[in-house]
Amino acid sequence: MTAAVLGADGLLRCPWGDSADDYRVYHDTEWGVPVHGDGPLFERISLEAFQSGLSWITILRRREGFRAAFAGFEIERVAEYGPADVERLLQDEGIIRNRAKVEATVANARAALDLGEGELDALVWRYATDPARPAPRTLADVPAVTPESTALAKDLKKHGFRFVGPTTAYALMQACGLVNDHLVDCEYRAPR
């Protein structure tokens, strides 16, 4: 039932957002801020897929490694990756070396490319929730899956995306501002 916590700087935050410096920066500057554009959304879809089964801080701490390994998440470049690139990436200590996730990222770049310019943004944002939705009071009020995330995952899969189940889709929605799950007392609840 964890509610917002008071940080050392005197600001109330979602509890996870005050648990480590990496989390604090991410919580305060990125999480829940609207993300638009095919490239930025492709990066977030990719990172959320790699996070599956791991803690988010593991991904945050390797984010620059992911960006280097996946050509800054430039969709066109990643879509051109072949078997040799996959093998190279499986040796890259700067990322999570999971074959299924690496191959999914390449497949997802191809799927994003097939959608056409601006279409990934349109597809993802189609599932934004009502901004008037009541704010969660505690972490127990924050769902892991919603009807919107289930529909988004289904739509992404229909277009050839992989590693995008309803839970991953909901984490994407939270991270990219499609839903505002900052707790009601969190200083960062206000739209940014």
Q: What are phi and psi of 12, to 5 degrees?
A: -80, 135
Judge contact between 108 and 162, C-beta under 8 A.
yes
Structure tokens at 42: 């492709």
If phi > 0 it is left, if psi is from -120 to 50 it is alpha, else beta; for residue 88 that is alpha
Residues serving a catalytic function are 26, 48, 56
Q: DSSP label at 31? A: T
Residue 20 burial (C-beta neighbours within 10 Å; 0-12, 13-18, 19+) = middle
